[in-house]
Structure 1
């Protein structure tokens, strides 16, 4: 590839690895003989990347960073990290302190552990900010963050690696709660530096994670282990509260606690690839486990939810995921309910709330309220094959959905009543791969592929002959209004993009060429007053076309996998679905 293309791919990968600043620096690098990069990657998901290689703002430089905690030192926010760092032929087990304002390490590493540092936590003891570290050497050490010296002798008692450390206040005293591979949980008085009572016993395998919370006014410890359970302990009486929380099917590796709607909760992460939220008062799981896409992203749309611009993506893993467009963070739980791949989506506003209409390979069309993340009514049924395409329209003041399926039919649905209107629209000799809607001469119409057909939604009859033959295999369709004319833009299996005048039913100009494989996705937008089409294809490229001039705008954007979905945000940003990932790019 050319240096310009390599620059863009490296910037995309930096964003996927979580380093936006590096991505911006790469994009800004001048390349001899190439224009400045017109697009920069704002953020991208990295679901195909192991979490251990995602960027951490203040990493240990040469080996695994195993633990992170935060504290305040001299009014500055700092991070405390622990690792097992390779040095030459041996290793150096260190604790490091980082200034989170400057991203710089503060002083030299804190050394003393003879095993890897598995866990760190922070507390305030006698007015001094301290850090605690648990290690594979079976000890817990306490460090004065101001002087950067170890306080006293290590805390000993565990007979296996200390895998987890948390802190709390019990009866006005700062304490540490530690979990170990020896299956025990121990509580330590940080003022006297002595163990309080006997170890807490109950886990049948090693304890991997510890957090603390306040439950009904009582300080509690929450622990997770290799035995797949989560347990809650009263730190005052040092007894287990209730039965273990069960549901994970593999070791519980991480824990956090918080308060949601006034209720104390625990959030657990497991080797079973799920995240679960638990109500600590009732001891019950809240909602479903949280997961990310486990397969290809096949469709993507943008919308606004409670004032936040968001992306909704649908995938091969049967789920819808909602992402905050500004931060790239997933919003809420995945929307589940489909029983096969989510191949097509569109959005609508019903009763003042944003909804998404999703079509799936299970042949079902489902309507989801994006505010509540709940399904609206029963899914409309009718298609006997997968639903490949969805669009919305308004007819006589009623919001409609128009769907196309592998059964060769186009169906029209009343979104208010949740039922199909009349008989399916038939005539297609192959599956309907794309649907878009428009208004032509005051008449609402639907435009469909795999050959381009135009349907009158009022009479529900086809208007004229198809614009293309079945052999041309139209994969994607979008509509636009250019200089007062309503146009259809179609992308084909042969890699070409065609533009059609829907009033005259004639092709405008020559096909737009550049893609070297099937065009899977087409969308249109108006940016800076210029009507554009954006296309994505199996060749891994996204191309932007000026619909007035009929030319490509700037160089193509290149992705490492086939592009399955594209969308345009009103401010001109691009959303691209490729492989398992979603990326957002902005014009520089």
Structure 2
């Protein structure tokens, strides 16, 4: 292993510029692994304090499956900071990828478009975003070049690049019906905006026609327009023929003539001769749904178009014959929204966004139509655009996401440095803990419609995913029914299922009654019988007898908006439920179904999470919402102390436990987990920073902390 990479103190304490400048020196599996670990979240820890970086690197080493490296990183001394309090026992690695090189951040809204160019001899990416700006990035360093380009007055949907009069330019379009040309050397607009479209501009491409650089633009107004980039004037009449929005355009050369290929929501692909402005042949038909994206390439010496549709397919078209080539390449379970092409290891490939939630990218061999390797994963929001280029003589893909990041991928790397633990394929929404066959387990619920059981000792999943929900699973709680551990889960489809954790089978029929998604579940005992308490976006709370599967009493009503959270406890000898929703916290007598006291008010936005505990002998509730955590005396209904502040975005999850004899609350939100001393209202130690938003937290009876972030699960132990 490279000596400098073996020095974990260097990784933790050295400046990111110094470390990043040496990552390409990594050789051998151990060196490549350490480099991958450092790159995984450098966009987050690069500018952070060394203590925060230490925690993130330890987490990412565990995500890559190297517990020994994680422990060594966690043990690195940091000047001015105490030893790391939390160690990572294990973490899943569903969102890490050995091909990942770097993430670039700076846009304040989702990144919607990306193209590449060369400026002053440096490879750059040009991006457009929902923040109404166009930005230029040095792909070697990941740093911005100059200030953001501001002229657009609405979000930017499309970016392309060209060379005009020897100068690199970008051409951008968006919601404002105009097209803007930018000098990439100076960062200034070139001339006046190009006007003529009467609706949003969704796509831009560039070409050379009769020796002059042109831009080709596609619009929701159902037209395609061609612009002379030297004069800023339209070339000929608009190209018409599509009967719905034209979403994207690409250019190529066919029989020595420049052409444009356009994709439309009318389910067709059209080819246009840019010299004459006339269509070439008949529309290309075969997609059964809206065509969202198009790119061009050369396969076996013939020009082809690659298109993606809402019908879950990627199709390849021979532009000479107008016929499809081979069978459609299938996406996952939803729209193909972006595609680009390049050459990897001498063969033509397509890089396409083809995933049920648009968060992963797949690479297809254009010769065979088959996928190559595993999907590229890591974005925590929808991927909106893909571009390809060459960096350091290696083919790379650049993906732009709604998570406000650009990610750079080395397409030539095909061997993983280590196999991480995998699990859910989409966001983890909820977690609960239980004991199964004497082993501590976590039960997680996900957007991928499954429930999974994890052995907390090994980090391995137990059995197959529990599949029965027909929509995303939002909530989970555990209980004991007839001396067997069970999980109770609630879904977007408004149903509640009970699972025997030993067999993985459902118990009884689904519990139905809610009319909108079930957002939270808790369990307790009422009159000696195990019950589940469910909260829903239908503004109600329901109680279910787990032995019979029947509802108990009428739904609890009182919340004026969706109910997001529920917990249970005992108050004055009575079993009660504590619920959070709208902007209030409410307490309910589970025996009578009646509210107890007035709603607790103070949060200024919806309450997303509640938990209960005992503080100084009094039953209390801890709630999270807006950007604060609040503590409430359940006996009086009054707040205890000031709100806990520190989160910079909404708090999604709250849990309570006792650590070293102290009652504590743990809150998860933004991309951090924070631990609070309930007796002093002070944060304990540094916040734990995660590479994706934290959706759920739970404690085990042994004091381990289980966190769900993005698609992943991690187990942390208080040292």
TM-score of the superposed pair, with normalisation by structure 2:
0.48
Give yes or no for the alignment of 1:292 onto 2:423.
yes
Identify the residue that residue 589 of structure 2 maps to in structure 1.
Answer: 456
Show the counterpart of 1:48: 95
After superposition, where does 1:472-551 map in structure 2 within 5 Å?
472-493=605-626, 495-537=627-669, 539-551=670-682
Instruction: Report what 1:402 is aligned to.
Output: 533
State the 1:529 CA deviation. 2.2
Report the equivalent of 2:461: 330
Q: Residue 430 of structure 1 contacts residue 470 of structure 1 at CA under 8 Å; is this kept in 2?
A: no
Structure 1 residue 309 corresponds to structure 2 residue 440: yes
Partner of 2:509: 378
Tell me which of 19, 27, 31 is aligned to 2:66. 19
SS in 2 for 1:452: strand
Instruction: Give 1:344 deviation, angstroms.
Output: 0.9
CA shift, 1:469, in A, is 6.0
* 3-state SS of paired residue (1:407): coil
Closer/same/farther in 2, CA of residues 3 and 415 from structure 1, 3 Å limit:
same
Correspondence for 2:707: 576
CA distance, structure 1, for counterparts of residue 515 and residue 483 of structure 2 = 32
Kindly indicate whether residue 452 of structure 2 is the aligned counterpart of residue 321 of structure 1. yes
Whether the aligned pair in 2 keeps the contact of 1:301 and 1:312 (CA below 8 Å) is: yes
Taking the aligned partners of 2:529 and 2:438, their CA distance within structure 1 comes to 25
Contact kept in structure 1, 2:598 and 2:637, CA below 8 Å: no
Give the distance between the partners of 1:387 and 1:471, measured in 2 at CA: 23
2:94·2:422 contact (CA, 8 Å) conserved in 1? no
Aligned partner of 1:468 in structure 2 is 601
- For residue 25 of structure 1, give the secondary structure of its aligned residue in structure 2: helix
**Partner residue in 1 for 2:563:** 432
The whole-number CA distance in structure 1 between the counterparts of 2:66 and 2:704 is 19
Residues 540 and 555 in structure 2, CA contact (< 8 A), matched pair in contact too: yes
Q: Are the equivalent residues in 2 in contact too, given 1:319–1:336 (CA < 8 A)?
A: yes
Out of 352-361 and 523-532, give the one that drifted further: 523-532
CA distance in 2: counterparts of 1:503 and 1:23, whole angstroms = 44
Tell me the TM-score normalised to structure 1 length: 0.59
**Counterparts of 1:346 and 1:43, CA distance in 2:** 22
- Rounded to whole Å, the distance in 1 between the matches of 2:437 and 2:508 is 22
Shift in Å, 1:492? 1.2
1:563 aligns with 2:694: yes
Select 1:9's aligned residue among 46, 50, 56. 56
Distance 1:51 1:342, change over 3 A: farther
Indicate whether 1:446 and 2:493 are aligned.
no
More displaced, 541-550 or 397-406? 541-550
Contact 1:527 1:571 in 2 (8 A): no
Q: Decide which of 6, 28, 34 is 2:81's aligned counterpart.
A: 34
Distance 1:585 1:490 in 2: 22
What's the CA shift for 1:292? 3.5
Please list every run of 5 or more consecutive structure 1 residues that lacks an aligned counterpart in the other structure: 54-249, 254-289
Matched, 1:344 2:480: no
Partners of 1:35 and 1:572 in 2: how far apart?
Answer: 21
3-state SS of 1:461 partner: coil
